[in-house]
Amino acid sequence: MAAKGAGMANKGPAYGLSRQVQDKIDSKYDPELEQILVEWINRQCGSGVGKPEPGKLGFQAWLKDGRVLSELINSLFSGDKPIKKVHSPSMAFKQMEQISQFLSAAEKYGVTKTDMFQTVDLYEAKDLAAVQRTLSALGSLAVTKDEGTYNGDPNWFFKKSQENKREFSDDQLKAGKNVIGLQMGSNKGASQEGMSYGRARQIL
């Protein structure tokens, strides 16, 4: 357990509710998914990105400066790369800046905001399951887009459903409206004749 303490040395122990919340977040982290993501990133970027120590904190340390993430997103673009300068910064704000660049490039690539982690989720190990979710969404998009830039087993990520736009002619749309009208029933020929509402009011 020494490794955990070393990684979290700058944070005091969490007590009570915050500890429970953190434990819950931590429990969503998937070690099997970690292996798939590491394997994919290595195939996508080449051996130059290295491999992390197994486990959540090893995974976090590997991605924390943003270099591996930048290499990954760049590898998915065949033309102009979204991140022009990829480096291994040692200063905290530069590392966070590089993570932010990855996030905005991932959004341009098509990852939805709901699938996106926040910089602190990775940088301060607040929610590494969210980091996994973003990388999985990125992998799924790469498989779905099928632009020839994805390196890896296509079965590692599920294909996202593609938008299926349909064009209807005016006649088809009119025919559809008639069907809806019939489904709602008809009130043609209906009247209130013969309906009674109790005894007539007596006026004395």
Q: Which CATH superfamily is domain 2-156 in?
A: Calponin-like domain (1.10.418.10)
Cα dihedral 120, 125, 130, 134 sign: positive
In angstroms, the CA 60 to CA 166 distance is: 44
SS3 content of the chain, % helix, strand, coil (to 5): 55, 0, 45
Question: Is there a contact between 149 and 75 (Cβ–Cβ < 8 Å)?
Answer: yes
Q: Digits of tens for pLDDT over the chain (204 positions)?
A: 444 444 444 455 555 666 776 676 667 899 999 999 999 999 999 999 999 999 999 999 999 999 999 999 999 998 899 999 998 999 999 999 999 999 999 999 999 999 999 999 999 999 999 999 999 999 999 999 999 999 999 899 987 765 545 565 667 666 666 655 555 555 666 666 666 556 666 676
Q: How many Å is the maximal CA-CA distance in the chain?
A: 102
| Single pTM value for the model | 0.68
Phi, psi of 107 (to 5 degrees): -65, -40
